[in-house]
Amino acid sequence: MAPELTPIEGDPKKRVCYFFDSDVSGFHYGPGHPMKPTRIRMCHSLVMNYGLYKRMEIFRAKPATKREMTQFHSDEYVEFLSRITPVNMNSYIKEQHKYNVGDDCPVFDGLFDYCSISAGGSMEGAARLSRDKCDIAINWAGGLHHAKKSEASGFCYVNDIVLGVLELLRYHQRVLYVDIDVHHGDGVEEAFYTTDRVMTCSFHKYGEFFPGTGELRDTGIGKGKNFALNFPLRDGITDESYKSVFEPVIRQVMETYDPGAVVLQCGTDSLSGDKLGCLNLSMRGHANCVRFVKSFNKPLLMLGGGGYTMRNVSRAWAFETGLATGVELGPEIPMNEYYEYFGPDYQLDVKSSNMEDMNTPGYLERVKNIVMQNIRLVGGPPSVQMTDIPRVPIDAMMEDANEDEDLIPPDERRHPRLLDTRRQADGELSDSDDEGEGGRRNHASHRDADNLAHSTGRRAAVGIMSAGSTHGIGTSMATAVTGGTPTPVAGSSNNQSDMDVDEETPLAQMVGRKKKKPGRKSSTGAPMAVDTS
């Protein structure tokens, strides 16, 4: 039976570009580390099996080069990332300390390739938006908002968001950055703290929580005064409470700042039940932020970010991909290569828990009034003297991505890259639209499969991996962070059950795959064995 897709009534049709590189699932931060790049492939599997590929163009972005990364990061730092490996890391002890690599941000095989894939998708998505090739660009491998100019932080090495915003600024006078990750978007805020061309707006847990920045009074400096907005939250905020502050603030920002483009960081560690988060949003509460930002009809770059309960990350991002294309996904998860991990209910929804909401109405109203006052101090959209757009290497690639198409003889098979970018027109039937009819239904059921083995907890860690949670809000951490380097935070680790499947991986995921050369195409190759939690 075909997956259920419900068109959203009154939602204007958008041209959506979606970026995915199957190589991203082959990277591994190390045993016990909460960041699992495989979550992006799990999301992609849902996106494909729901049939969303028919409603958007799918690309494999060209990986970002060292030169492109140095548009923001220092030359020495990028060179360090490109050279260090687990084999030679003992020769770079001094540099590891200097660039904060180790512990939270470990050295692993293919580190630089991983950064290149993440940054490449965000930069190309921004480039396509700027050239009016799409209305919404999605890169779930991006959103790594903690990385600094010369420093790794919070599982982030290269700040793809800053690189994407810089690309947008070549064409747009003003860019708005919105962050709904549970952690403060400190790397992006720091990069644009002194300019009025980018307004940063972050909703995050604050008070003895990584990275310790994002206080209400941090509003920018110099020309950027009042162009950095921070909304500090306490534990357990619900969908209703979040909506009551998010929508008024974003609406006021849109009216006052009038951005030419919007970047939305959709970190899912703000969902209920996340291993490192402490908020209580449901999938629909989180997705409401995407729906609301989309409603302003601005060029929109949607990026990933945090999220450490993998089955929930993939659910939320797949649902939000559907919203971008104008449909709501049905509640029944379709058969896919990770189907067993969505048990026992095999439902798409992520529900809120019964944890106490420490954000009282009085507290939220008080903070909202202060943030709204900061917005009013902007006094209207700042004007920018625009000049000729400087050319960068991505321009030549973007001017005609299909320049070779006319040279292909009509009797030869087209390159998969050209086929993958074709979007199915509404009303067009695919070969499998009659699946489930006329006796073609697959009666196999995986609902009775054995439960997966669950691991037992994780040792306490420092920095972002501390799941410490306080009910209050204070400034205890604001002065404990220097240059973005996290200090140890007291707290208890989150004892939710893991889903590490190193020892018990379904046979369907043991199939190997060939290494793909860089190129622009979607990838739906055979899955690898995964370490998921």
Strand, helix or coil for residue 96? helix
3-state secondary structure of 179: strand
Q: How far apart are CA 313 and CA 470, in angstroms?
A: 24
Q: Distance between CA atoms of 158 and 145, rounded to whole angstroms?
A: 9
183 is catalytic: no
Helix axes 75-83, 111-130, angle to 10 degrees: 130
User: Edge-to-edge strands of the sheet including 136-139?
Assistant: 57-59, 16-19, 136-139, 300-303, 261-265, 175-179, 198-205, 228-233
Instruction: Measure the CA angle with vertex 96, ends 25 and 115; round to 5°.
Output: 30
Catalytic residue among 73, 146, 184, 286: 146
Please list, in sequence order, all residues whose beta carbon lies within 8 angstroms of the beta carbon of residue 181, skipping any fewer than 6 positions away.
143, 145, 202, 204, 265, 266, 267, 269, 270, 305, 306
Which amino acid would we find at residue 124? E
Neighbours of 86 (CB within 10 A): 13
Q: DSSP string spanning 314-380?
A: HHHHHHHHHHHHTEEEPSBPPP-TTGGGGTTT-BS------------HHHHHHHHHHHHHHHHTT-S
Question: How many CB atoms within 10 Å of residue 513?
Answer: 14
> With contact defined as beta carbons under 8 Å apart, do 252 and 162 qualify?
no
What gap in Å lies between CA 326 and CA 272, rounded to an integer?
Answer: 25
Closest residue by Cα to residue 323 from 356, 294, 296, 361: 294
Report helix, strand and coil shares of the chain as percent, to nearest 5: 35, 10, 55
CB of 226 closer than 8 Å to CB of 220: yes
CA atoms of 321 and 19, how far apart (whole Å): 11
Contact (Cβ atoms closer than 8 angstroms) between residue 318 and residue 333: no
Q: If you count DSSP H runs as helices and E runs as strands, how many of each does the chain have, helices first?
A: 13, 10
> What positions carry a catalytic annotation?
146
